[in-house]
Amino acid sequence: MDEVREFETLVAEVEPRLRRALIAALGSETGREATAEALGWAWQHRERLEGIGNKVAFLFRVGQSKSRRRKEPVLFAEPDHDEAWVEPGLAPALASLSEPQRVAVVLVYGFRWTLREVADLTGVRVTTVQSHLERGLRKLRSALKVVSDVGT
């Protein structure tokens, strides 16, 4: 029974961040499925996971791998209701970004992760995350026709 409690504690610690990261990378539906797949893998391979330092990053890669066999376009759920503060073009604009750009933009601006946290998750340098973030924001601004008035 201790094994079950230990796993429940692990899930409570890693699931929210893992789910957010996989949804950012893969879209709403596939990201949730990949999270479930990764947590299922974690249960089956509990002993292997014990020695891993950054469990979220490791399970992120497991979730990505599990979802690759059924590669589908990235989809973000459309809200059931009209909300004036939600830009209707945001979901398709996010879907048009490359996966690294989308992960950087959604995690940094959507969930307030630091560049270091995203770099640790994805296994790249902080400067690479910064580049993905800048390129992603530039593409989003272009897709959404946002004109910056900074410096004018």
The answer to whether the beta carbons of residues 26 and 64 sit under 8 Å apart is yes
User: 97-131 burial, b for 16+ CB within 10 Å, e for fewer?
Assistant: beebbbbbbbbbeeeebebebbbbbbeeeeebbee
User: Is residue 91 classed as helix, strand or coil in its secondary structure?
Assistant: helix
What pLDDT, on a 0 to 100 scale, did the predictor assign at position 79? 54
**Where does the chain show beta strands of DSSP type E?**
none
Cβ neighbour number for residue 152 with a 10 Å cutoff: 5
Q: How confident is the model at residue 51 (pLDDT cuts 50, 70, 90)?
A: confident
Q: How confident is the model at residue 14 (pLDDT cuts 50, 70, 90)?
A: very high
Mean pLDDT of all residues belonging to the chain:
87
Domains within the chain, CATH numbers bracketed = 1-77 (1.10.1740), 85-146 (1.10.10.10)
Query: What's the CA gap between 10 and 141, in Å, rounded?
Result: 38
What pLDDT, on a 0 to 100 scale, did the predictor assign at position 60? 95
pLDDT, tens only, 64-78: 988 775 555 666 655
What pLDDT, on a 0 to 100 scale, did the predictor assign at position 125? 97
pLDDT, tens only, 115-152: 999 999 999 999 999 999 999 999 999 999 887 656 54
